[in-house]
Structure 1
Amino acid sequence: MPIPLKQYAPLDVMLGRPAAANFPQHPRRFLAQGDSWFSFGSVNPLATGNMMDGMAFEKDSCVVNCAHPGDVLDHMVDKRREPMFANLLLGAQAWRWDAILLSPGGNDLIDFIRVPQVDDKGQPVPAFLRALLTPAERGGEPDRAAAYVSEQGWDTFVQHIVPQYHEFIAMRDATASQSQGAPIFVHTYDFITPRDAGAGAGVGPWLFPALTSYEVPQALWQPLTRLFLSRLTGLMRSMALPQFHVIDTQGTLAPADLGSHGDDHDWANEIHPNPGGYVKLGAVFAAGIEALMP
């Protein structure tokens, strides 16, 4: 019977606290870094949980989870911003990790889609710095999601984000690392429904105001976000990095209904699954990892 994944806080492991007393005894140890899908996606953490909650393995396994809500890739690989992750991977308290779990790129993409038409100084933002085209820039076929995408902007996004994935590989394989060549497992992001559903305390929604501002027809909100998230998946798959494995979890969740508010189907809010949704995602992610582990 699969054994649920045991989660440890980085400081508990680094300081040898009683809460992590059993950490060295686990036969398989993972190090995790990432965004809210690995941490929590609500002001009330109990409203969402994270993907680790649904993960279980045939072998007794644990994870030291360094993820933070809202984290983007260039922060994750910044040793000054993420000193605990860096220390556990290639610092004085590094271990030999059996694998590294990564929840990468979702916030980068959402932040990019949210870039406004006009900056805070009232100046137009050029198309190569935006994910979306303004109404004046759009050509024909207004009934297709692709007609609303700034291809110049997408190229900029790719040029920005790809080096961050390479930096993860460089950190793993650095001379100071004890985990050179350890497999890195990343998940894909399931399909978001833009809607007026924040995470509480004024946090979010994220895409709903952006698509409204750009005057994207509501009928295209789901196809447009599906297009962007599929492109992110395709980008991760295309990089062919050494021991970098993309576990496809897209299509696992029941999408929230367009126009709904709050918890709906498998989603707690606009961009974060609810506890049941995370359990579904975690089960798929764990199965993919198990199939590829040495």
Structure 2
Amino acid sequence: MQSLVMYSNEFSGHLNNGLAPEQFKYRILVEGDSWMDRSAMVHTSLLQSLAPEMDAGGEAVLFINLAIFGDTMRRMGQNKRDFVQWVRTAFGWKFDAILLSAGGNDFIDAARDEKPGEGLLKNLAVQAPPAQGRDCLRPEGVSDLVKKWLDPNFSVLYDAVQASRHRDVPIFLNSYDTPTARNAPAFQNGRPWLYTSYVKNSIPPALWPDLTEALFGEVQAAVGGWATGRPNVHIVPTNGTLIPATPGTTGNDHDWQNEIHPNKGGWEKLAKVWRTSLKTVLVP
């Protein structure tokens, strides 16, 4: 029996065609962004590599995927009634785990979509460049994002799980990996993410590597904070897994398909880390 990845709106059709969820070794609910959905219009995501990785160990998994390309923690907490419905629905089986990838787009949006000097980045068009890229971050912007938006909206999802019969189910959180800021959008004529943010705020390219490391350090710290005081929440340690893309490249390079998403080889590396994390917690 092989693992199966399906979107939530496909579940009823699969049931009508004979799907038996209880026959899978694990049943896993997935919520999140493009790292769980798809990394570009024609490229897949982590689950497409994690499924065969689990199969290789003889562990067939039914993945029910609620993730949406470009989604944010803020929208998940405020508008994701689909997630709440899934954890509240009574089946003849329980989920064995919940996977969540969230927070990355919130940080990227706060850097890219705000006016220069607002959001997460300082505007170096109106002030001298600092000695280190990390000093281009606005600490107050990071703090506001995490405390006012990310933490409360994660709590919405977490509390929904705790109010359900899945309260003891382990939740695994994506900690991403640190990309390279470069002009490599997900599709032709699209906008890159970090590259656009840095250019808009007149940040010199020499500062980009240190700034990106600091920015994703904040992402990972925010995600890590969601596990504090919650023993059933686990961080998947993916940062540092991938070979960074070369600065200045504009497409697929090393383990990266575009600026912020891995390619097939990158997903396969990450899937191994995820399987190791899952197997340390899930019942054999």
Task: Establish whether TM, by shorter chain, passes 0.5.
Answer: yes
Residue 266 of structure 2 is matched in structure 1 by: 277
Choose from 130, 147, 161 the match for 2:135: 147
Q: SS where residue 135 of structure 1 aligns?
A: coil
Matched, 1:182 2:180: no
Provide the rounded CA distance (Å) in 1 between the counterparts of 2:34 and 2:159.
24
Matched, 1:213 2:211: no
RMSD: 2.3
Which deviates further from its counterpart, 95-104 or 246-255? 95-104
CA displacement 1:133-176 (0-9 Å, x = unmatched): 1126657x7230122111111111111211122112101011xx
CA displacement 1:230-276 (0-9 Å, x = unmatched): 12212222341421111110111111111001111111111111111
Provide the rounded CA distance (Å) in 1 between the counterparts of 2:18 and 2:75.
26
Provide the rounded CA distance (Å) in 2 between the counterparts of 1:74 and 1:95.
30
Give, in angstroms, the shift of residue 198 of structure 1: 1.1
CA displacement 1:169-204 (0-9 Å, x = unmatched): 101011xx2211211001211111111111114332
Give, in angstroms, the shift of residue 288 of structure 1: 1.1
Residue 171 of structure 1 is matched in structure 2 by: 160
The change in CA–CA distance for 1:290 and 1:182 in structure 2 (over 3 A counts) is: same
Matched, 1:96 2:94: yes
Give, in angstroms, the shift of residue 89 of structure 1: 1.3
Matched, 1:52 2:50: no
8 Å CA contact retained: 1:73, 1:108: yes
Provide the rounded CA distance (Å) in 1 between the counterparts of 2:18 and 2:262.
28
Residue 236 of structure 1 is matched in structure 2 by: 223
Q: SS where residue 77 of structure 1 aligns?
A: helix
8 Å CA contact retained: 2:123, 2:203: no
Give, in angstroms, the shift of residue 9 of structure 1: 2.3
Provide the rounded CA distance (Å) in 1 between the counterparts of 2:112 and 2:89.
36
Residue 278 of structure 2 is matched in structure 1 by: 289
The change in CA–CA distance for 1:162 and 1:37 in structure 2 (over 3 A counts) is: same
Residue 36 of structure 1 is matched in structure 2 by: 34
Unmatched tracts of structure 2, length 5 or more:
none
Which deviates further from its counterpart, 17-26 or 245-254? 17-26
Residue 114 of structure 2 is matched in structure 1 by: 116
8 Å CA contact retained: 1:89, 1:95: no
Unmatched tracts of structure 1, length 5 or more:
119-126
8 Å CA contact retained: 1:72, 1:105: yes
Provide the rounded CA distance (Å) in 1 between the counterparts of 2:87 and 2:146.
26
Letter aligned with residue 169 of structure 1: Y
8 Å CA contact retained: 2:103, 2:223: no
Provide the rounded CA distance (Å) in 1 between the counterparts of 2:189 and 2:21.
37
Provide the rounded CA distance (Å) in 2 between the counterparts of 1:20 and 1:76.
31
Residue 255 of structure 1 is matched in structure 2 by: 244
Q: SS where residue 102 of structure 1 aligns?
A: strand
Counting matched residue pairs gives: 275
